[in-house]
Amino acid sequence: MFNFEFDGNSIDFHDGDTVASALIRAGVKELRRTRFSSQPRSIFCGIGQCFDCLVVIDDVPNQRACITLARSGMKVRHQEGTK
């Protein structure tokens, strides 16, 4: 079992997990808020096509959580708007 950080909390993940799958397993419902109406979003297409599951990973915004493999020690943050 490995873990990464999401908004300061430790999230466990399995080998082969993406950032999104680890967060969903941990019960995280919301990955970001939208730019104009600040609506919550999570995964939608699950395969990297819809860009709805955007998170900030190691200070780089607009990373697709559903296709980014989870790595130990990465710092993931909830994203506000599209950067």
- Which parts of this chain interact with another protein (CB under 8 A)? 14, 16-18, 21, 24-25, 29-31, 34-37, 39-52, 54, 62, 66-67, 82
Closer of 5 and 63 to another protein (Cβ): 63
CA distance 50 to 73: 26
Smallest separation (angstroms) from another protein to the CB of 73: 20
Smallest separation (angstroms) from another protein to the CB of 72: 17
Smallest separation (angstroms) from another protein to the CB of 20: 8
With helix as H, strand as E and coil as C, how does 13-69 read? ECCCCEHHHHHHHCCCCCCEECCCCCCEECCCCCCCCCCCCEEEECCEEEEECCCCE
Closer of 35 and 75 to another protein (Cβ): 35
Amino acid occupying residue 55: V
Closer of 9 and 38 to another protein (Cβ): 38
Cβ distance 65 to 55 under 8 Å?
Answer: yes
